C-alpha cells in the first residue's frame, strides 16, 4: 500500500522574509510572505510555523488562506528579530486542483540579516528566500 502513495513535488511556490518599512508605525519590519509563481490558484492553504534550536522551541503558529491566486503573494506574519537566532520552519500544505501538496521551508539560524537581503522580483521587496 505504501508504494501506491505518490507525494507530488512542490514547484513554483516560495517562502520569503522581507525587510520593509511600516508606514503606520514608522519602523522597519521583517515580514514573512508566501509566493505563488504558478499559473493556477492554490486553495485551502495552511502554513504552520515554528522556531527551534537544540535548547529552545517556540509555540506553533497557524495561518489559513482560502485561496492564493495564480502569480501572486500573501503576507503571512510579522516575525520578530529575536527569532532569527533560531531555525524557523514553515510547513505549507495546499490543494492544486484535487491534489494535496506539502512542502517544508526552512530559514536556518542566523541567516536572516540585512547583509543577506536581495531583491525578490515576485514581491518587489528586498528579502531572503527560504531553502
For the stretch 39-48, pLDDT in tens is: 999 999 999 9
Residue 16, phi-psi category: left (phi > 0), alpha (psi -120 to 50), beta (remainder): beta
**pLDDT value of position 88:** 98
Task: Flag whether pLDDT at 3 surpasses 90.
Answer: no
**pLDDT value of position 26:** 93
C-alpha cell recorded at residue 28: 522597519
* Greater model confidence, 125 or 7: 125
Task: Flag whether pLDDT at 2 surpasses 70.
Answer: no
Backbone angles phi, psi at 127, to 5 degrees: -170, -165
Average pLDDT value for residue range 16-35: 95
**pLDDT value of position 7:** 72
pLDDT tens-digit profile of 59-81?
A: 999 999 999 999 999 999 999 99
- The H or E element containing residue 96 is strand 87-96
Separation of CA 33 from chain center:
5
Query: What's the pTM value of the predicted model, to 2 decimals?
Result: 0.92
- Confidence band for 6, pLDDT divided at 50, 70 and 90: confident
Give bridge partners of residue 87 from the DSSP assignment. 52
Q: Are 131 and 106 in contact (CB under 8 A)?
A: yes
Amino acid at each position: 500500500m505504501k508504494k501506491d502513495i505518490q507525494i507530488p513535488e512542490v514547484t513554483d511556490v516560495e517562502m520569503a522574509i522581507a525587510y520593509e518599512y511600516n508606514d503606520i508605525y514608522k519602523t522597519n519590519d521583517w515580514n514573512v510572505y508566501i509566493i505563488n509563481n504558478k499559473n493556477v490558484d492554490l486553495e485551502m492553504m495552511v502554513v504552520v510555523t515554528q522556531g527551534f534550536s537544540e535548547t529552545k522551541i517556540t509555540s506553533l503558529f497557524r495561518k489559513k488562506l482560502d485561496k492564493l491566486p495564480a502569480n501572486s503573494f500573501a503576507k503571512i506574519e510579522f516575525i520578530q528579530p529575536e527569532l532569527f537566532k533560531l531555525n524557523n520552519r514553515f510547513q505549507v500544505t495546499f490543494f492544486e486542483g484535487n491534489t494535496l501538496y506539502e512542502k517544508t521551508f526552512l530559514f536556518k539560524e542566523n541567516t536572516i540579516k540585512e547583509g543577506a537581503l536581495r531583491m525578490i522580483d515576485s514581491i518587489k521587496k528586498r528579502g531572503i528566500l527560504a531553502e
